[in-house]
Amino acid sequence: MSVKPFVDRSFVPLSGRLAVLTSATLLAFTVAAAEVDVSKLPPAATKKVDFGKEIKPLLEKSCFKCHGPEKQKGKLRLDSREAALKGSENGEVIIPGNSAKSILIHNIARLDEDSAMPPEGKADPLTKEEVGLLRAWIDQGAKWE
């Protein structure tokens, strides 16, 4: 006579639960990003943008305090092209050639107050003109020259 051991198949180890929770959280962020109404974005500037004169100073003023060489909140660094294109712990934030799909633009345009950048008290919100410059820069390839 063989005895079969009792196996509780309803038990999910903590690591399994954590994986499910992490996956659900990432999915929620992805869905939230997908639900942004890009028709509310300020229009991209129509001129050729100069990174050194217009974009770099804007990033320094509004972003580097939290996403620069000394601190990288969310593992996002915006002081080099390589780091910026790598993105954050949640993935890409700049899609060269497509500002409307770039999370950076969604956040600085404050389309979703929960992910608005810069956060209140850290720096002044960007103006529509500044968002337009950043959109044009991304649409023009997000070049660091």
Q: Would you kindly state where each structural domain of the chain is located, as residue ranges?
A: 14-139
Tell me: the pLDDT tens digits for 51-93?
999 999 999 999 999 999 999 999 999 999 999 999 999 999 9
Domain 14-139 has CATH 2.60.40: no
Name beta bridge partners: 115: none
DSSP state of 92: -
Polymer length of the chain:
145
Its pTM surpasses 0.85: no
Helices and strands (H, E) in the chain, number of each type: 6, 0
Q: What is the pLDDT of residues 101-143, one digit of tens each?
A: 999 999 999 998 889 999 988 889 999 999 999 999 999 999 9
H-helix or E-strand spanning residue 104: helix 103-108
Cα separation, 74 vs 123, in Å, equals: 17
Find out whether 109 and 41 touch, Cβ atoms under 8 Å: yes
Q: How far apart are CA 25 and CA 8, in angstroms?
A: 27
